[in-house]
Amino acid sequence: MLGINGKAGKEVLLIRHGETDWNVAGRFQGHADIPLNANGIQLAYSVAKNLRDLKIEHIISSDLSRAAETARIINRDFNVEITLDSRLRERNMCPLEGMTLEEISGIVGRKITLSEFVGEDFSEKVESLSSLRERIRSFVSDLIGMNFGRCLIVGHGGSLAIMISQIAGIPHEKIHFENCEIKKLIMAGNNCVIEE
């Protein structure tokens, strides 16, 4: 299949949702359905403006409102089908949702860094990394089988980092997304290139 600009393969644009009040406060959201704040809505409109001249064939979004609303704002210029997929949700933080890293450090009994937090399993009924990886692996398997030239995926920092890790072989702890930041993957057969 011939993709964008005559390149063989598919172009996947990965976008983290717009800002929420919990992002500003440094609170982990997980599956908590926190809406975009005013700045998050503005960020979504700004990224939509930057993408306006591209041909987007399909949009896939996490079903959580902060991602789905970001996708709907971006889609105003494209009017394509949006598929909501719960596999794109962030890691389920269960009782740790809404807490800061400092508060979580107090619960686990030691000071932890953000990279330790995203790279570890916890006994506090948090979704295991293997569970998160498996649902992202399932999504990626379906994505590989889809027929498109350019697709846009709206998700969450952690789940998108796991996706890049699985597709491009980069450790997920080294991948960071700001709100409404775009990373581009070119997928061709077994090869993948990431562009920021």
Question: Which one is catalytic: 11, 90, 127, 172?
Answer: 90
Taking each helix axis from N to C end, the angle separating 65-75 and 38-51, rounded to the nearest 10 degrees, works out to: 40
- Amino acid identity at 91: R
- What are 20's strand-pairing partners? 36
Is 116 catalytic? The answer is no
Question: Which one is catalytic: 17, 69, 127, 156?
Answer: 17
| Gap between the Cα atoms of 137 and 178, Å rounded | 23
Q: Evaluate whether 156 touches 178 at the Cβ level (below 8 Å).
A: no
Q: In terms of Cα–Cα distance, which of 77, 73, 30, 33 is closest to 56? A: 77
Task: Write phi, then psi, for 141 (nearest 5 degrees).
Answer: -60, -45
Residue 62 in tokens: 């996490």
Is 173 catalytic? The answer is no
Active-site residue list: 17, 90
